[in-house]
Structure 1
Amino acid sequence: MGKSLIIAEKPSVAADIAKALGGFTKHTDYFENDQYVISSAIGHLLELVIPKEYEVKRGKWSFANLPVIPPHFALSPIEKTSSRLTLLNKLIKRKDVDMLINACDAGREGELIFYYILRHAESNKPIKRLWLQSMTPDAIRGGFTKLLDNTAVQSLAEAAVSRSESDWLVGINGTRAMTAFNSQEGGFHKTTVGRVQTPTLAILVEREEKIKKFHSQKYWEVHATFATTTGSYTGRWFDEKFNKNAANQELKPERLWEQPKAEAIRDKCMGKPGTVSEESKPSKEICPLLYDLTSLQREANGRFGFSAKTTLGLAQALYEKHKVLTYPRTDSRALPEDYIATVKDTLQHLSNTEYGKFSQQILASNWVVPNKRIFNNSKISDHFAIIPTALTSTKLNEAEAKLYDLVMKRFLAIFFPAAEYLLTTRITRVEMEPFKTEGKVLVNPGWQSVYGKLAQSDNQEENVSLVAIKPGETTVVTEDIKIVDHQTRPPARFTEATLLSAMEGAGKFVEDEELRAAMSAKGLGTPATRAAIIEGLVLENYIQREGRELHPTAKAFSLITLLRGLKIPELISPELTGNWEFQLRQIEQGHLKRSSFMEKIAEMTKHIVEQAKSHRGETISGDFSILKTPCPKCGGHVHETYKKFQCQSCDFALWKILAGRQFEVDEMETLITQHAVGPLQGFRSKMGQPFNAIIRLTENFEMKFDFGNNDDSQEEIDFSNQTSLGKCPKCGHAVYEHGLHYVCEKAVGANKTCSFKTGKIILERPIEREQISKLLETGKTDLLTRFISKKGRPFSAYLIRAADGKIGFEFEQRTPKKTTDAKPKTKTSKTKTVRQTTS
């Protein structure tokens, strides 16, 4: 009898399977026993390429060779993991291997990884599918007792390949066509687009356009303070005849748009008695649904500031490494109807943990019963909601523990009864003018008790109710009336949490979670891909993170303007792109043929290229800015166009893109006003290498790079118009800004006697003047975030000044975790990691 080759997606999963099944001998990159051979991919090992006979060697960026729609695709090994692909090929072709078991992640991308490996190996051996929802040893062993036939996931593989090929066709053709269009007047201006990435960007740009066009309006509110025999309370005037206007969300019953009207109400009611009526009614609030990946990413971003990518990584570690969560890449928020016994078993295992109080209460009260909000087969696709497993771990880091706590509390809370409130609405009428006061009292916390909420009688501070009015007391005294002025605010910028919601609702920000879940089938991307889409936009400098907000760059506006001008709605309409995702889901479910979907994608690709070709030589119109700064040559008005900042009265013009980087309007204002701007990041050399530089405007009004290489100049450097940042740690002279650095005044120019300097940008992070001043004065900056390591990973650190004046990193010390080891540790290391920076 032959052996079965098990192919996992990652080495750690292969090791977990070997451990769960037992009896394996470890070899280099694979395990083996009498029944199985286990190895793994390392994520994707192959990528789509054009077959050699259809790929052009030259001119790939010109319109002449577009569109590129090969009749079939070839696969090319990814160079850095080619050795693993070679190993898998050998194992697949072993004569004693007569069956293959696909143990890649149970989803679309896992299916694609295995499918491409199989296609590359040209194997026709029979295949079984291991489908895991949890990585616990019991779940792994259970999965091998009910392996699926490969035919059961054939439609999933077809959807995966369709997704891969459609992204390639649209991405390659769209990027080459837009690059050709933007490069037609000379230079090479790479302009990347994507089937899902670009419509997502359009959501951000449209929101930013609304913010820019927003004109704030003043409005007034009238607030009164009323006195009773038991105390005082406040009320706000409102219009009882107000009708909601869907077209104008700024209109609200308590807002007055004319100050004299507010003053008239104040003068009319000041010091006059008021009559009181009130109504109290009970209200219930049910627990939100269990988490899918997108809702978990939203919550973690809003609560902890985690990016979607960070949350996905943490959830994957909790599933794969610690085995305390079920499969995270899910779009379902319900559990299978036959999962009641499993839930009870999990709750039983949690009895001796910090969550035991709640798990025991659920079991004792028999709250785990059939409930369509929780247990519903019709609401489950490939995977069910994210919940804890029966295992626990004490080895979670701080971020992992925070995410685990989110999932755990939602899992427990969903089985608790609804929270019960008493809502009181009090209307106080003074001279026939109504003032409203509302109070909300938590009567029975229900599921809120899992989150630490207590009833009114237990916790007076957290539940502030209205001052009571004695029975029969209907008249109050108007103690004070104030007019409070406000201004309308523009729409809020997207955070990752709100962008994920908009992506899930195909561009519509839907607050109601159950309605959003119903729309998610036509959302942008999938829960598993949305984090990568956002990261891709950041990587291509289409958006920037500023705190928790996402800001589209000038490059983003330029791309969306171009696509609007070329009339390519397929690349900017979230609804259209959401429909493509819906069709991929139909392929998964066997309701749509792959060939039909790919024909539509080919038509879309041809249309994109044809629109770009047909508009060659034309000016793209758009909503462009007029600079506040006059033309430095003639004093005329400088207008932004699609490609330039152009004076309307003379020939002065500056290109918007230089060395692959697009200038923001405020950067161009600074350059024209001060004849220099920077240092700026994001430039790329002809070899594709990133670099930073100051841009200077020459006497001939041309842009010129300044790399700060004039430190050895024999001319005296004049710092008289600058304010010193502090004393040089090496020689005691003053430190100033100079080019790309902060330097000692004696480290540049003719009288150079010192060597102190440090970069204005260190590891892709701009260093603010105030931080340098603090470094020089105290020897240490604040904790600075968003440094990027050589491996592309963000990190936080302090900059510190050593005794010899050199600048280095100091990393934040982690609080040591409590340990339950029998033998306490007697020594504690308190060393700090310090690394010298490079300027």
Structure 2
Amino acid sequence: MPKVIITEKPSVAKNIADALNIKTRRDGYFEGKDYIVTWAFGHLLQLYDAKDYDAKMSKWNMDNFPFIPSAFRYKVKVDPKNKEKPDKGAEKQLKIIYSLLRRNDVDMVISACDFDREGQIIGDTIIYNLKTKKDVYRLLLNEWTPDEVRRGLQNIKPNTEMKPLQDAGISRQWADWVIGINLTSVATLKYQKGRGQALNIGRVLLPTLKIIYDRDKEIESFVPETYFKLTATFKTKNNDEYEGTYFENEEDKFKNKEMLEDIEQALQDKTATVIDKQVEQKREYPPYLFNLSNLQGYITSKYKGWTSDKVLKVAQSLYEKKFITYPRTASVVLEESLVGRAAKVLETLKKGLPYENEIKFSKLKRVFDNSKVESHSAIVPTYLIPKSLTRDEEMVYTAIKNRFIMQFMPVAEYEETKITTKVDSSEITGVFISKGKVQLVEGWKKVEQIESKDMILPFVNVNEIVSIVEHTISSHVTKPPKHHTEKTLLRVMETCGKRYDDEESEEMMDAILSGFSIGTPATRAETIKKLKDVGYITTQNKSLLCTELGKRLVETFPIKELFDLEFTGRLEKTLLDIEKQKFTKDAFMRFIFDFTANSVAKIKNEKEVTINQITTEKKQMEVLGKCPICGHGIIEGQKGFGCSNWKSGCKFVIWKNDKFLSTMKKKPTKTMVKTLLKNGVVTVKGLTSKKGNKFDANLRYEKNPDNEYFSWKIEFIK
């Protein structure tokens, strides 16, 4: 009897069908002798809106809050363009899945959604909403290569074993709904004047905003201070020169310039003696493998125009194409069970590299360590080598591949020399320190051609007398801390504000895996994007800054726990504890309900303050051209360029997020629409093909002969 496999996305269903050699594709599923593979499009079901429980909630009224349902219910996800209607695609796919689960010849359901909290509830809400009596199992994979799919299907687990993960996922979903619906509604009613976008309040949103706010305030209140340094150049008996910086009590920055001037004066006509020389050979290990936050930080700081949200999307695409392992991970090492697989991958990747003979596989503790893995191992390539990638995919894949190869290259080695020189004068109590560094073994640095800056000191002996050639006092000013970038913000979110000097330290790794964090690897990028979308933060080059609205919200909104990193970190830690069966869903939800009710009561009792004043000015609409259906004017709306006669039923529109244009990385512009309406055709430059190549084309927007909708026609320019 065939078993139904449900995946999170169509691309994953295709990977499984290919691995099982299933060729028959039907509407919404693949069908083979032993397996039927169907798919969701992420969440097909969503939680009820407040108004679905009670009609009075369709209008926001302070008296109706707090609103906490006695039981949470699910419905087909809504159409993003019309929130009053269900999404037709989701509705259709659900019917297909349910018809497959009801088939008499099907005896088992296997959820093959992503192995994480969100993936668990995507599958479970679909399966259990039907109240099926059939056995439900779970396929748990870290990559979608054919070998892994076939191996995984031999080791499926009863879905009942995933109850703790389901509880954590449901707890997160219900908690965010209760806090978001109640506090967003009440805050908007209390603190916003004028109609417009609501004042978004969220469990992860506000502490992230506070991190950026705090850094902005730190910079604002920073008072620069001037300090001075004294340097001297010494000459050896062989006429070699080297420079040293003056230190006193292990300090080389001095506020008192007069003191340094006195020392400088005392240097006149003096000699100096080398009183100490230390030469140390040091080993430099490669950075750890990537987890999602490190990958996002690396790419956003290295390349212009990248956001952490974009890095996640590209990594997810590589994962679904079977080229990398699961990207939404917090771990920077691999499970020890992956030793054989990693050796196979390395053997494939190293072929033809100029340093191939230096790459040697070994079961290293820095790479393989079960005690440092939480749920998922670090992100590494699979044994499948990509033949064609887009430019963006190439950047992310290369970073992951290089980081993996580095682990098995020789450790980089350098020699560090420290010379201590004492001026022969009783008036000068301090010493001059010189540091030099010479790379001895390049090792893993060859992979990314990391250049080491050698600072070579001349050869000197201890007790050698040297002459003083010149000396300088330089003036410096202390610098304020830098604004957060996506890289630094992700690090603070990952460790819940705890600062670690060494990003590669054991303490850092333990902190990340403790679950005491703001959000999860999967949600942090989305949080940063939402802060920009709702207008709480803005970007300047790579810097993230609080807007005036963001500042007013932090300074005025009275529920201070939501800005508190400790509070949010504890909530996230509790969700992880639910996964580990150290805490219960019921206890967590009781806390969330009480917190929400108390917060609503507090906001109601606060004095009247305006955080956001929305003024609406009637705009004079510019007519871009004539409607090809009814002849009325085409005007620009929030979501598209449409007919001004829409109230009378004219449906002509060119959506700003048009799917056809977005596949070529273009959005319609006002100029483009004007030309199209005037000439019936428009030349569009800089379109992007599926392979990432740029091209120009003529586009027409023509009515379909059999219905009232329009479709694009493309003519390539030779």
Number of the residue aligned with 2:219: 211
Number of the residue aligned with 1:496: 486
Which of 180, 196, 206 does residue 198 from structure 1 map onto?
A: 206
1:614 maps to 2:612 = no
Number of the residue aligned with 1:448: 445
What's the CA shift string for 1:23-82, capped at 9, x where partnerless? 331111211122221110011111112576843425753321111111111112113322
CA distance in 2, matches of 1:600, 1:19: 46
Q: CA deviation at 1:813?
A: 8.8
1:600 maps to 2:591 = yes
Number of the residue aligned with 1:467: 457
SS class of match (1:274): strand
In structure 2, runs of 5+ residues without a counterpart are 78-85, 624-635, 641-655, 677-681, 701-718
What's the CA shift string for 1:308-367, capped at 9, x where partnerless? 11111111121112x22111111122212222222222222224344x744x5344xxx4
Q: CA deviation at 1:415?
A: 2.9
Number of the residue aligned with 1:549: 543
Number of the residue aligned with 1:518: 510
SS class of match (2:107): strand
SS class of match (1:545): strand
Q: TM-score, normalised by structure 2?
A: 0.82
Which of 224, 229, 232 does residue 241 from structure 2 map onto?
A: 232
1:384 maps to 2:372 = no
Q: TM-score, normalised by structure 1?
A: 0.71
1:112 maps to 2:104 = no
Query: Are the aligned partners of 1:270 and 1:481 in contact in 2 as well (CA < 8 Å)?
Result: no
Query: In the alignment, residue 516 of structure 1 is paired with which amino acid?
Result: M
| Aligned CA distance change for structure 1 residues 377 and 155 (closer, same or farther; 3 Å) | same
Q: CA deviation at 1:15?
A: 1.1
Query: Are the aligned partners of 1:3 and 1:34 in contact in 2 as well (CA < 8 Å)?
Result: yes
1:658 maps to 2:614 = yes
Question: For this pair of structures, how many residues does the alignment match?
Answer: 646
| Aligned CA distance change for structure 1 residues 149 and 59 (closer, same or farther; 3 Å) | closer
| Aligned CA distance change for structure 1 residues 810 and 221 (closer, same or farther; 3 Å) | farther
What's the CA shift string for 1:467-511, capped at 9, x where partnerless? 313557823332222222221111111100000000011123434
| Aligned CA distance change for structure 1 residues 814 and 70 (closer, same or farther; 3 Å) | closer
Query: Are the aligned partners of 1:439 and 1:465 in contact in 2 as well (CA < 8 Å)?
Result: yes
Number of the residue aligned with 2:399: 406
Q: CA deviation at 1:422?
A: 1.3
CA distance in 2, matches of 1:68, 1:707: 37
What's the CA shift string for 1:508-529, capped at 9, x where partnerless? 3434233222112201111111
1:140 maps to 2:134 = no
CA distance in 2, matches of 1:290, 1:830: 33
Q: CA deviation at 1:796?
A: 9.2
CA distance in 2, matches of 1:96, 1:215: 75
Number of the residue aligned with 1:310: 310
Q: CA deviation at 1:273?
A: 2.6
Which of 471, 476, 479 does residue 469 from structure 2 map onto?
A: 479
Number of the residue aligned with 2:629: none
Matches within 5 A, 1:556-571: 556-563=550-557, 566=558, 568-571=559-562
Query: Are the aligned partners of 2:274 and 2:419 in contact in 1 as well (CA < 8 Å)?
Result: yes
SS class of match (1:451): coil
Number of the residue aligned with 2:646: none
The answer to which of 384-393 and 281-290 deviates more is 281-290
Q: CA deviation at 1:801?
A: 11
Query: In the alignment, residue 319 of structure 1 is paired with which amino acid?
Result: Y
SS class of match (1:57): helix
| Aligned CA distance change for structure 1 residues 74 and 486 (closer, same or farther; 3 Å) | same
| Aligned CA distance change for structure 1 residues 271 and 545 (closer, same or farther; 3 Å) | farther
What's the CA shift string for 1:346-394, capped at 9, x where partnerless? 222224344x744x5344xxx412x433222222222111111111012
CA distance in 2, matches of 1:831, 1:153: 48
CA distance in 2, matches of 1:263, 1:290: 50
Number of the residue aligned with 1:530: 524
| Aligned CA distance change for structure 1 residues 122 and 199 (closer, same or farther; 3 Å) | same
What's the CA shift string for 1:451-480, capped at 9, x where partnerless? 3358xxxxxxx4423331355782333222
What's the CA shift string for 1:405-440, capped at 9, x where partnerless? 221222122233432221111122334342221111
Which of 259, 266, 269 does residue 268 from structure 1 map onto?
A: 266
| Aligned CA distance change for structure 1 residues 706 and 83 (closer, same or farther; 3 Å) | closer
CA distance in 2, matches of 1:572, 1:469: 56
| Aligned CA distance change for structure 1 residues 120 and 465 (closer, same or farther; 3 Å) | same
CA distance in 1, matches of 2:450, 2:189: 60
Query: In the alignment, residue 490 of structure 2 is paired with which amino acid?
Result: L
The answer to which of 9-18 and 405-414 deviates more is 405-414
Number of the residue aligned with 1:95: 104
Query: In the alignment, residue 411 of structure 2 is paired with which amino acid?
Result: A
| Aligned CA distance change for structure 1 residues 801 and 235 (closer, same or farther; 3 Å) | farther
Aligned-residue sequence identity (percent) comes to 31
CA distance in 1, matches of 2:685, 2:268: 60
Query: Are the aligned partners of 1:504 and 1:516 in contact in 2 as well (CA < 8 Å)?
Result: no
Matches within 5 A, 1:796-807: none
Higher-RCO chain (CA-CA 8 Å, sequence separation at least 6): 2
SS class of match (2:178): helix
Query: Are the aligned partners of 1:230 and 1:467 in contact in 2 as well (CA < 8 Å)?
Result: no
Query: Are the aligned partners of 2:421 and 2:431 in contact in 1 as well (CA < 8 Å)?
Result: yes
CA distance in 2, matches of 1:800, 1:205: 36
Instruction: Compare the two structures and name the one with the higher helix fraction.
Output: 2
| Aligned CA distance change for structure 1 residues 301 and 233 (closer, same or farther; 3 Å) | same
The alignment yields a C-alpha RMSD, in angstroms, of 3.5
Number of the residue aligned with 1:293: 292
The answer to which of 517-526 and 283-292 deviates more is 283-292
1:580 maps to 2:579 = no
Number of the residue aligned with 2:30: 31
Query: In the alignment, residue 222 of structure 2 is paired with which amino acid?
Result: F
Query: In the alignment, residue 225 of structure 2 is paired with which amino acid?
Result: Q
CA distance in 1, matches of 2:686, 2:267: 58
SS class of match (2:476): strand
Query: Are the aligned partners of 2:242 and 2:458 in contact in 1 as well (CA < 8 Å)?
Result: no
Query: Are the aligned partners of 2:2 and 2:105 in contact in 1 as well (CA < 8 Å)?
Result: yes
Query: In the alignment, residue 257 of structure 2 is paired with which amino acid?
Result: Q
Number of the residue aligned with 2:653: none
CA distance in 2, matches of 1:422, 1:438: 11
What's the CA shift string for 1:165-212, capped at 9, x where partnerless? 0111111111112112114x7767721111111111111111111111
SS class of match (1:97): coil
| Aligned CA distance change for structure 1 residues 90 and 59 (closer, same or farther; 3 Å) | closer
Query: In the alignment, residue 559 of structure 1 is paired with which amino acid?
Result: L
What's the CA shift string for 1:709-729, capped at 9, x where partnerless? 8x99xxxxxxxxxxxxxxxxx
Query: Are the aligned partners of 1:789 and 1:795 in contact in 2 as well (CA < 8 Å)?
Result: no
Query: Are the aligned partners of 2:688 and 2:694 in contact in 1 as well (CA < 8 Å)?
Result: no
